[in-house]
């Protein structure tokens, strides 16, 4: 199989946006095309739209709006992990040679929704349990079991808002203090407003190609060196019976490290799925960056800050940058690409060689991990 | 890249079915697992659900019902070509080595709908144009330009109903006469009821694996030897300005023949996308089986009958077997696998070595072609 690189990207401002889903998609797509001046749009032979939008054939409308006439094309959905799964599918399509150049465009329009609409999935579980309820249970047990403090959760929010204040595309542009987080409106104890993601409109896109073509389009390709995924089911209780250990994250991370021939020590920058602040703390652990139970300490010691041991969510994460469901995983990849290329502006972590993204769905029942490098992978195991 | 084979399949009876979309999916999935007794469900590491159903995360519910814990997983949608595109995406995921064993499960539940629901796509075109209107225009121009007769259209329906009467999973189990077709209720001239597909509930699934593993699971793997796709846009007029020549079909067929190192003469059995009878006639031409304008003659001479030069739609096609949107392309692949394995019962065409499927979307704006062989492809170009 061929090595595959990301050669360009574009995104919209995240937040409450006017215009339709198709308008947002067109904005991110156009910006992506402009990021690769040597690429003619006729060369884009794969096109995946990642979104939870239920409208059939919206992929074809978006492609048409962008002037694309791809070969392989489809909408791809895996709830909040749609973007990560979409990039992985595109990676397979390019690595196998089905297509040479492939765009993945994630998009979501949520600001018009009063609440996140209940899904049939909820009813198959016996009732509706808003995500913050899961988050609350995970947080309570982690606090009880490992001494994690409410202030540790708040520090994640403070860090991610500080990072998003340096990201011109982020939904939240203002830093918050630990006091502001601690005093923000209670949602489900111990989670407060600033511990949670908001509703976000937005779109983000990347273009992938193979090793024969990458240098034709850019001097700074960012290689996908490994991937891992795990889809353990659709039920909260069955999938994470211990609450504070997330097997999907551990499985996907292990496979991504194995296929990329890296270890957690090699990672210079990570984008984790901070749907709630507690997520980021548990993910430090289950991705393998710290021992189980040491996540609170990691954020307290500033290890996940820009300048720390492994800067995490330098774009602001889902809490600071926003969480436009189908676009989230794509935006995570874009942040890694920007950091590895030295294009991250005020958020730049210095010289980063290896990056990591973790994109999750639905009470951590599905995980998608991608590892990226400035250097090509030497072999595939 | 690795060679990839289909190693098992299963489907539900097509037609008006009780039960939910998830019930139908479970039935086809279970039947597929039973078709590969040596395969433990834990080995299925890729899972794609192809459907137009808009419900988020239904893929995870279906996987859970089947006892699957895949790695890579997503819902995949490209309207009526969802199945063909889904199998192609799975082919890439297996060929590239991201996953070794992958299930593609197509499913649709339509019988409860009074009419096919208008799509936002229609409104972006300026209004609603039911598919039969396109079919009518294609048919009228083909008749005017090439002397194709209403009776030629009817012969397609007669053939496909005869074939479906030998397919225990087909929606329509009774043969029809040419008189019955000609006298059936007018829809949009010259198309009558029996020239059109009906609403269908149903599900169909296949499992793909690579060349290292295929023989572990079956003595009769059917290899995917090439693929081609073309997505030219979402608009009827722009995509097929000449009405009787369908560039998406020609593009996708050309690429599939090129990548499989075959020519139209090599094809022993073809499943074409007969959304309307006129489609099958134009597809004989644009796939390359006959010259432009000779499609009517091909059906008149019985060349697409079982026993003819290239048996087409031996399972009954969309008109006879049914057209459960997201499952249709998967069912086409299953028919080819059955024919190449000699498992097609009364419909068996004799010894078939090379098969061809063509799956389309939305007024032939998107096409997906797959070529299959009893022998592995020798190289990839």
Contact B42, B325 (CB under 8 A): no
Which of B1, B120, B229 minimises the CB distance to A71? B229
Share of chain B above pLDDT 70, in %: 99
CA distance A374 to A342: 11
- State how far residue A274 is from chain B, nearest Cα, in angstroms: 19
- At residue A293, the pLDDT reads 98
Contact A102, A207 (CB under 8 A): yes
Average pLDDT over residues B125-140: 88
Domain ranges of chain A: 4-113+198-373
Share of chain B above pLDDT 90, in %: 89
Share of chain A above pLDDT 90, in %: 89
- At residue A278, the pLDDT reads 98
- At residue B124, the pLDDT reads 77
- State how far residue A62 is from chain B, nearest Cα, in angstroms: 9
- At residue B378, the pLDDT reads 61
- At residue B167, the pLDDT reads 98
Reduced to 3 states, what is the DSSP secondary structure of residue B274?
coil
The active-site residue, picked from B142, B161, B273, B323, is: B323
CA distance B49 to B87: 10
Average pLDDT over residues B30-36: 98
pLDDT exceeds cutoff 60 at B62 = yes
Facing residues of A226 across strands?
A: A371
Preceding amide of B190 cis, omega within 30 = yes
Contact A355, A269 (CB under 8 A): yes
Q: How confident is the model at residue A366 (pLDDT cuts 50, 70, 90)?
A: very high
Q: Which chain B residues are closer than 8 Å to A58 by Cβ?
A: 120-121
Could you read off the pLDDT of A264-282 as tens digits, one per residue? 999 999 999 999 999 999 9
Residue, of B28 and B378, whose pLDDT is higher:
B28
Contact B71 A235 (CB under 8 A): no
Q: Which chain A residues are closer than 8 Å to B54 by Cβ?
A: 53-56
Residue of B nearest to A86 (CA): B74
Q: Which two tokens stand for residue B223?
A: 């290899």
Q: How confident is the model at residue B377 (pLDDT cuts 50, 70, 90)?
A: confident
Q: Which two tokens stand for residue B90?
A: 């799975």
Preceding amide of B155 cis, omega within 30 = no
Dihedral (Cα; B68, A260, A156, A115), 10-degree rounding: -40
- State how far residue B344 is from chain A, nearest Cα, in angstroms: 30
Which of A57, A74, A79 minimises the CB distance to B119? A57
Q: How confident is the model at residue B380 (pLDDT cuts 50, 70, 90)?
A: very low
Which of A1, A92, A234 minimises the CB distance to B64? A234
- At residue B381, the pLDDT reads 36
Q: How confident is the model at residue A379 (pLDDT cuts 50, 70, 90)?
A: low
Q: Return mean pLDDT, chain A.
A: 95
Contact B377, B211 (CB under 8 A): no
Q: According to the CATH classification, is domain A4-113+198-373 in 3.40.47.10?
A: yes
Reduced to 3 states, what is the DSSP secondary structure of residue A162?
helix
pLDDT exceeds cutoff 80 at B379 = no
- At residue A363, the pLDDT reads 87
Contact A120 B95 (CB under 8 A): no
- At residue A380, the pLDDT reads 47
Contact A121 B96 (CB under 8 A): no
Q: How confident is the model at residue A381 (pLDDT cuts 50, 70, 90)?
A: very low
Q: Return mean pLDDT, chain B.
A: 95
Contact A231 B76 (CB under 8 A): no
Contact B231 A93 (CB under 8 A): no
Q: Which chain B residues are closer than 8 Å to A365 by Cβ?
A: 60
pLDDT exceeds cutoff 70 at B355 = yes
Contact A233 B70 (CB under 8 A): no
Q: How confident is the model at residue B235 (pLDDT cuts 50, 70, 90)?
A: confident
Which of A74, A89, A365 minimises the CB distance to B60? A365
Contact A89 B93 (CB under 8 A): yes
- At residue B34, the pLDDT reads 98
Return the residue in A50, A126, A230, A231 with the most chain B beta carbons within 10 A, the one to mutate for interface testing: A231
Q: How confident is the model at residue A238 (pLDDT cuts 50, 70, 90)?
A: confident
Which of B69, B74, B252 minimises the CB distance to A85? B74
Could you read off the pLDDT of A184-210 as tens digits, one per residue? 999 999 999 999 999 999 999 999 999
- At residue B114, the pLDDT reads 76
- At residue B236, the pLDDT reads 76
The lowest-confidence range among A94-98, A234-238, B90-94 is: A234-238
Contact B85 A73 (CB under 8 A): yes
Does residue A323 have an active-site annotation? yes
Please state, in angstroms and as integers, the Cα–Cα distance from residue B45 to each residue in A228, A230, B321, B331, B339, following that order: 11, 9, 30, 22, 27
Share of chain A above pLDDT 70, in %: 99
Q: What is the per-residue DSSP string for B276-288?
A: BHHHHHHHHHHTT
Residue of B nearest to A47 (CA): B231
8-state DSSP, A12: P
Residue, of B321 and A119, whose pLDDT is higher:
B321
Burial B219-245 (b: 16+ CB within 10 A, else e): eebbbbbbbbbbbbbbbbeebbeebbb
Contact B207, B201 (CB under 8 A): no
Contact A233 B60 (CB under 8 A): yes
Count of helix runs (H) and strand runs (E) in chain A: 14, 11
Exposure on the CB side of residue B287, measured as CA atoms within 13 A: 33
Average pLDDT over residues A51-77: 96
Contact A324, A317 (CB under 8 A): no
Could you read off the pLDDT of A131-188 as tens digits, one per residue? 899 999 999 999 999 999 999 999 999 999 999 999 999 999 999 999 999 999 999 9
Q: Which chain B residues are closer than 8 Å to A22 by Cβ?
A: 124
Residue B325's CB: how many other CB atoms inside 10 A? 29
Cα torsion B260, B263, B269, B272: sign: positive
């Amino acid at each position: 199989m061929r090595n595959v690189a990301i050669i360009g990207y574009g995104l919209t401002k995240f937040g409450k946006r006017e215009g339709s889903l198709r308008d947002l998609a067109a904005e991110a797509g156009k910006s992506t095309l402009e990021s690769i001046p040597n690429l003619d749009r006729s060369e884009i032979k794969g096109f995946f739209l990642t979104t939870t939008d239920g409208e059939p054939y919206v992929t074809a409308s978006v492609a048409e709006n962008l002037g694309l006439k791809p070969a392989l094309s489809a909408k791809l959905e895996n709830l909040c992990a749609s973007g990560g799964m979409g990039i992985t599918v595109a990676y397979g399509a390019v690595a196998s040679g089905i297509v040479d150049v492939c765009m993945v465009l994630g998009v979501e329009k949520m600001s018009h929704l009063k609440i996140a609409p209940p899904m049939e999935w909820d009813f198959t579980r016996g009732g509706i349990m808003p995500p913050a309820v899961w988050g609350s249970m995970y947080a309570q047990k982690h606090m009880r079991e490992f001494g994690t403090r409410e202030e540790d959760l708040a520090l994640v929010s403070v860090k991610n808002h500080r990072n998003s204040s340096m990201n011109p595309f982020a939904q939240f542009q203002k830093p918050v203090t630990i006091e502001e987080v601690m005093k923000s409106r209670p949602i489900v104890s111990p989670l407060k407003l600033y511990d949670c993601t908001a509703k976000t409109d937005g779109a983000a896109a990347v273009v992938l190609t193979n090793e024969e073509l990458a240098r034709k389009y850019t001097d700074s390709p960012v290689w996908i060196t490994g991937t891992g995924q795990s889809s353990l089911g659709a039920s909260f209780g069955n999938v994470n019976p211990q609450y504070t250990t997330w097997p999907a994250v551990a499985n996907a991370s292990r496979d991504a490290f194995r296929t990329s021939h890296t270890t957690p020590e090699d990672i210079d920058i990570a984008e984790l799925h901070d749907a709630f602040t507690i997520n980021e703390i548990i993910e430090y652990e289950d991705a393998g960056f710290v021992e189980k139970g040491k996540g609170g300490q990691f954020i307290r010691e500033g290890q996940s800050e820009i300048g720390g041991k492994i800067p995490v969510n330098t774009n602001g994460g889902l809490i600071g940058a926003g969480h436009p469901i189908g676009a989230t995983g794509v935006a995570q990849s874009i942040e890694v690409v920007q950091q590895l290329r030295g294009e991250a502006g005020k958020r730049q972590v210095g010289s980063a060689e290896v990056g990591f993204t973790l994109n999750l769905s639905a009470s951590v029942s599905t995980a998608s991990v991608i590892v990226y490098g400035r250097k090509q992978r030497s072999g595939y195991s």
